[in-house]
Chain A
Amino acid sequence: MAQLRGRSLGLTALAWTSLACFAVGAVLSRPWVVVAVMGAGWSAALLSLLLLRRSVTVPLHRIAESITAMRRSGRLVKLPVTQANELGVVAEGFNQLAGQVEEQKQRLRSHIIELQRVNLELDRLANLKDDFLTTINHQLRTPLTAIIEGVELLQDGAMGMLATDQLQLVQAMDRNAIRLASLIEDVLDLSLLKSGRRPLQPAPGDLGALLRQAQAAWQAAAQSRKLAVNCGELPQVYMDAEAIRDVMDHLLRNALRHAPDHSDVEIAASCTNDGLVEVSVRDHGPGIAAEGLARLFQPFVHVQAPEAPGSQGSGLGLAFCRQVIERHRGTIRAESAEGAGTTFTFTLPVASTRFVFQEACRLAREEAEYEDGQFGLVLVLPASANAGNAIAQAGELLRHNTHRGDQFVWLDSQSLVIVAVTGQPGLEMMVERLRRLLESAHLEVRLGVALFPRDGGDADHLLGAARAHLIEQRDTTHGTMRQVIE
């Protein structure tokens, strides 16, 4: 380009010189003057053309070539600096800038390497901390067992009767040993939950049965206090039953710690209008002042003196409850006034098909963030209206043949969805595997597929896309399957 422009500039100069010579010759009517002047003019023009080419066109061309090469290779190359003129300054400036960019790139690269190293180190330390907690837990429990056993032998008079003041001392030791035991337990529970070593595995479950079991388990410890459950028919809720049982244990232990003798502790549960079940545990103890309520769910906070002296908890139980409930996408709160007892209320989501399916997609999306950001849906529908119980059989078959981590959701009795964290090739292989499996069992069902984020950004859109991408089970060959997925 620069070369072209230089050339046309030279030609224009030659043309103008010739025109000027003819004009001078015409005015003087001396042909030899014309020839001489024209010769001189042409020589001068050619000379300046050569100079122009050497000093401007060629260096510009080289700069252009270098820049094109850089763009292609993505690497910075030094420009040749041959002139002492403005082009030389430009090339030198460019080289300096390129040098700085290269330096920054190097620095960025070493920062990334350092970050990766720090990340690995953090992972290692987190694992070490978890291992340490587990080990220390074991190391603490063993001597504590001997202490508790020894103290109880003394307390029971198995080693001879104790004087009243001796007995009082031993009783204080007993209470403290038990308190230490529950502290160890609660620290471990909370840290396992926070570190993800105790992952929650929610599934539709019977909350009413769980609450009645909790009441039965705690009735003996309640002694003169009465534990009552008041809940009607409850829908299935989406919960990790083991974790919710632990939450109820903490709340009931807490309530019994503060409830006066012969008082009632009430467990109640009911549905709210917004797809939740609300569970409350109410005691008629001394209650909590407003400033204490605000700090109640923070670790190691004791805002209430227990009814029985020395029976104070670890201060971690409510922090644990909050972790568990919030992980279930519920909320937990306490209502109280001094002298009016305390009510703890938490919510859990009703396991509606829609909620369970949306949660499956949300979890898949969260998990996909660590991979390539994609996840897939496979929708399973009966091939025809009179397919009988084909879909139930397919569900049974697929449930035992999906990979660990794949989520299995029944939309209704005639359709189900498998949500898998995988990209397009993985989804393709999965569909092919399921298809063969269903075919070999002679089950007449249709499969539909959708891929996030390609076919939609939320659960509803993905389901719509899967319905739109239905594949006839019988006619499907690997070729048409590819076509649909692609």
Chain B
Amino acid sequence: MSVVRKRILIGEDDQHILKMTTLRLEHEGYDVITAADGEEVVRRAGADLPIHLILLDIKMPKLNGYDVCRTLKGRAATAEIPIVVFSASENQLQHLADRCVEVGATGWLRKPFRTQELMQKVRQALGEEGESDG
């Protein structure tokens, strides 16, 4: 693995999920920064560059995940950062997929997800597919 660790920003208002996901990603060798609401995600994504990937919950205070996606994709500095969305509220995966494509997200997961699924989406979005499992 390269010396520079890739940095992932997680936007999630549930403290427990935020903590577990952070532990997992750090264990897998990534740098993690966190935000607890939509506005904070937008702020940090603009300020703490470089960011290689953003993991985003849909239901967040202040600005929901879809709006965060639209905002980030609309700004030159953050438009190229891949975004993986997770949601607990969409009943059908197809609906989630349709909305994610609409706002420019690269991947999506429905809660609850297994670690294997999460890591697959993360590696896919970072273009690390096929590399060692770490």
Residues of A participating in the B interface, judged by any CB pair closer than 8 Å: 134, 137-138, 141-150, 152-153, 156, 158-159, 177-178, 181, 188, 192, 198, 242
Contacts and interface: CB of A to CB of B under 8 A. Distances in A.
B58 to A, nearest CB: 10
Contacts of A181: 112
Contact of B17 (A137, A145, A192, A198): A145
Contact of A146 (B14, B92, B94, B114): B14
Interface in B12-28: 14, 16-17, 19-21, 23-24, 27
B27 A153 contact: yes
B68 to A, nearest CB: 18
Interface in B110-134: 111-115
A144 B86 CA distance: 14
B114 A142 contact: no
29 contacts: A134-B89, A137-B91, A138-B59, A141-B88, A141-B112, A142-B111, A144-B111, A144-B112, A145-B14, A145-B111, A145-B112, A146-B14, A146-B16, A146-B19, A147-B112, A148-B112, A148-B113, A148-B114, A148-B115, A149-B17, A149-B20, A150-B16, A150-B20, A153-B20, A153-B23, A156-B115, A158-B24, A177-B112, A192-B91
Nearest to B16: A146
B14 A142 contact: yes
A483 to B, nearest CB: 47
Contact of B27 (A137, A138, A143, A158): A158
A146 B112 CA distance: 8
Contacts of B16: 143, 146, 150
Which 4 A-B pairs rank lowest in CB-CB distance, beginning with the nearest?
A: A149-B20, A146-B16, A141-B88, A145-B112
Given A134-B91, A146-B14, A141 B23 contact: no
A188 B20 contact: no
Given A148-B112, A152-B114, A192-B91, A142 B17 contact: yes
Nearest to B18: A146
Contacts of B115: 148-149, 152-153, 156
A159 B111 CA distance: 23
Candidate in A138, A149, A159, A192 with the most chain B CB atoms within 10 angstroms: A149
Contacts of B94: 242
A149 B24 contact: yes
Contacts of A242: 92, 94
Contacts of B17: 142, 145-146, 149
A158 B23 contact: yes
A150 B18 CA distance: 11
Contacts of B113: 145, 148
A147 B19 CA distance: 11
Contacts of A153: 20, 23-24, 27, 115
